[in-house]
């Protein structure tokens, strides 16, 4: 399995460094759409903390029901049901306006991972919209070891998602007018019956993105910019939650929403 091309930032936050309390650790997670103005959006971010044994998907294999539900419609409920009992998961979503993260939008949430000495690894997934079945996520269950075996936090982490990290789920033919989710073009999706691949490894990737230019999304926005392999489209920042947040509930507790 291949790890996404991301960077783990050396953010100097001395007041937030040090050990997490094993047994009940809280993380503050921020998701930002870093894409160009008028560009593509993405759906609420699914997050999971686990012991390294939960593999959301594997490039080169057919996507399971969980990742397919995210890739085709941004639905996180299926993968959450599959994940149940494997650790702790949550979804970070917008709370006002459209349910998607448009360029310049961000959201922060407190995420309780439970026992940090057990649920040491972080997984995530989100659909790129509008599209038929494009998404980003990590196909290596152990790519992000946020805690060590003693429950000490290994970060802070800055996970950068570029266009080259976008996957094609291979479950629906890429056709802007053929059932692309969150597009106002309509149509019904045609099954592809393929396997998960990196989007830009396939022929016609740029032509597919260009076919959305000038079209409206379901929430009335007009797509005015695409992206390429080197385009920064998302940033996920993970730090220990500030003192006093330990009693906040799991499930995407909203801390802020802002526009760049």
Q: For 194-212, how does the pLDDT look when each residue is reduced to its tens digit (9 = 90+)?
A: 999 999 999 999 999 999 9
Calculate the dihedral angle through the C-alpha atoms of 146, 59, 45, 128, rounding to the nearest 10 degrees: 140
The answer to whether the peptide bond before residue 204 is cis (omega within 30 degrees of 0) is no
Helix segments in the chain, DSSP class H: 65-73, 77-83, 205-210
**CATH number where 80 lies:** 2.60.40.2130
Q: Is the pLDDT of residue 45 over 50?
A: yes
pLDDT of amino acid 3: 36
Tell me the three state secondary structure of residue 220: coil
Q: What is the mean pLDDT of the chain?
A: 84
Q: Structurally, how many domains does the chain consist of?
A: 1
Q: Is residue 6 assigned to a domain?
A: no
**What's this model's pTM, rounded to 2 decimal places?**
0.85
Domain that holds residue 51: 14-241
**Nearest CA-CA partner of 13 in 236, 233, 237, 235:** 237
Q: Residue 3 domain-assigned?
A: no
Q: Does residue 247 sit within a domain?
A: no
Please indicate, yes or no, if residue 154 is contained in any of the structural domains. Answer: yes
Please indicate, yes or no, if residue 8 is contained in any of the structural domains.
Answer: no
Q: Dump pLDDT digits (tens) for 118-147.
A: 999 999 999 999 999 999 999 999 999 999
Q: What is the DSSP letter of 147?
A: B
Regarding predicted confidence, which is higher, 57 or 246?
A: 57
Q: How far is CA 19 from CA 9, 26, 171, in A?
A: 18, 12, 42
Asked if residue 259 has pLDDT above 90, the reply is no
Burial track 231-248 (b if 16+ CB lie within 10 A, e otherwise) = bbbbbbbbbbbeeeeeeb
């Amino acid at each position: 399995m291949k790890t996404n091309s991301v960077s783990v930032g050396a953010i100097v936050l001395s007041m937030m460094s040090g050990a997490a309390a094993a047994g009940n650790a809280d993380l503050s997670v921020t998701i930002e759409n870093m894409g160009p103005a008028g560009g593509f959006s993405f759906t609420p971010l699914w997050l999971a903390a686990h012991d390294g044994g939960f593999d959301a998907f594997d490039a080169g294999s057919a996507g399971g029901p969980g990742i397919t539900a995210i890739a085709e419609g941004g639905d996180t409920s299926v993968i959450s049901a599959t994940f149940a009992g494997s650790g702790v998961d949550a979804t970070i979503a917008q709370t006002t306006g459209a349910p998607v993260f448009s360029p310049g939008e961000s959201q922060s949430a407190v995420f309780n991972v439970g026992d940090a000495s057990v649920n040491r690894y972080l997984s995530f997934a989100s659909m790129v919209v509008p599209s038929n079945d494009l998404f980003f996520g990590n196909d290596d269950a152990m790519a992000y070891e946020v805690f060590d075996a003693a429950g000490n936090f290994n970060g802070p982490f800055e996970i950068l998602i570029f266009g080259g990290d976008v996957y094609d789920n291979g479950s629906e033919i890429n056709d802007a007018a053929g059932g692309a989710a969150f597009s106002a073009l309509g149509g019904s999706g045609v099954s592809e019956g393929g396997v998960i691949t990196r989007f830009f490894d396939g022929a016609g990737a740029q032509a597919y993105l260009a076919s959305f230019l000038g079209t409206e999304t379901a929430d009335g926005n007009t797509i005015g910019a695409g992206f390429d392999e080197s385009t920064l489209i998302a940033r996920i920042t993970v730090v220990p939650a500030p003192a006093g947040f330990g009693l906040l509930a799991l499930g995407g507790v909203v801390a802020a929403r802002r526009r760049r």
